[in-house]
Amino acid sequence: MAVDPSFLEFVEDQLGQVVTVRSRRMFGGVGIYGDEVFFAVIADDTVYFKVDDSNRPDFEALGMGPFLPFGDEARPMQYYRVPGDLLEDADALAPWVRKAMAVGQRAASVKKRER
């Protein structure tokens, strides 16, 4: 799940045009936070955004699938691959980022209530 430093820099630059981002290396990949909301992961130089029922259809409509860190389709994570062409266009990327951040915010709220 290695992440090339130049790819990480590119992703941070693109996302940084939409929201204030910070990254954190974890489990061989990178976690991405926007305004302190965890909303994306990078693994093997592939970006995945957090999904739920509100934005998953957007990814599926473009043929994007879930993050499978264990190689097991029975245990997908709730992150879907971001289409590569979106990463090239910050304006097109912006609504996807905002939706993923909203999903991340909702997930964080649920976790807080469960404590």
Cα–Cα distance, 89 to 17 (Å, whole number):
10
pLDDT for residue 46: 95
**Mean pLDDT within 13-36:** 93
**Mean pLDDT within 64-86:** 86
The distance from CA 70 to its chain's CA centroid, rounded to whole angstroms, is 17
Please say if the pLDDT value at position 70 is more than 80.
no
Nearest to 67 by CA among 15, 22, 1, 14: 1
Using only C-alpha atoms, the chain has a radius of gyration, in whole angstroms, of: 13
Domain 5-114 in this protein, CATH class: alpha beta
The residue whose two tokens read 């029922």 is 53
In the three-class reduction of DSSP (H, G, I as helix; E, B as strand; rest coil), residue 10 is classed as helix
Please say if the pLDDT value at position 71 is more than 80.
no
pLDDT for residue 115: 63
- First CA to last CA across the chain, in angstroms? 31
Please say if the pLDDT value at position 61 is more than 90.
yes
Please say if the pLDDT value at position 100 is more than 80.
yes
User: Could you tell me the residue ranges of all domains in the chain?
Assistant: 5-114
Cα–Cα distance, 102 to 89 (Å, whole number):
20
